[in-house]
Amino acid sequence: MDRAESMPDEASAGGKIQHIAVIMDGNGRWARERGLPRNAGHRAGAERVRDIVRASLDAGVKYLTLYTFSKENWKRPRSEVSGIMGLAELFFRKFFRELRNDGVYFTHLGDRQGLPESVLRVIDNIEADNAPEKKLHLNLAFNYSGRAEIVRAARSLCAAAAAGELEPEDINEESLSTRLFTAGMPDPDLLIRTGGEMRISNFLIWQVAYTELWVTDVLWPDFTREHLLKAIEDFLRRERRFGGVKK
């Protein structure tokens, strides 16, 4: 069945929450308000990631996707980008083992090309020694672009059609979805954005077609377990009709 014709899975339709995506915005503003350099805000934000991952585990969330570094972020000052890369490497090394032992399974979403070799080595080592028990899939969108992801999937479909592996008329939403970084995962039920901005910023733009949005003015380093639970509570009160009507 074509994905466009299929109904949402039972967990999404029944009010449970499987997959939360988060745009972690506000690190720079948090630092500026305190008279600190921007990279201090990124360090505080990285510490917050661990807390929110643990809160998601406790809440029974199965997938957590965090927007950590976009392709557009390369436009930032070189010192800030270098700091983020070093912080990413430190975060992976510092927190991975303890989260792995709690059943957190790590996946990198994004383009490997352009990332420093040191970061790639850490990602490869983590993926080679991932959690055997997958209580929570932690997807870190790092060097990620939603549009680039769709282009990548389209190129894969074109190559398959050119090779005679499928007919162009057989290309549908499902076949494209299987070529995304999130292949095999449920689409996000809830997208949280911190920092108050009202946009999705090229994040999972295919996957969030029917995702519920929850925006808060709270800056990411100040986003707590209580804020996460409030977002989940609000989500569970919503009625999701997926284009249908109330019964």
Q: Give me the active site residues, please.
A: 25, 73
Contact present, 70 and 84 (Cβ < 8 Å): no
Helix axes 78-101, 38-58, angle to 10 degrees: 20
Alpha helices in 105-145 (DSSP H): 117-128
Contact present, 192 and 224 (Cβ < 8 Å): no
Q: Taking the CA atoms of the chain, what radius of gyration do you get in angstroms?
A: 18
Reduce the DSSP state of residue 190 to 3 states and report it. strand
- The residues near 110 (Cβ < 8 Å, ≥ 6 apart) are 69, 71, 141, 142, 143, 144, 145, 181
Contact present, 73 and 81 (Cβ < 8 Å): yes
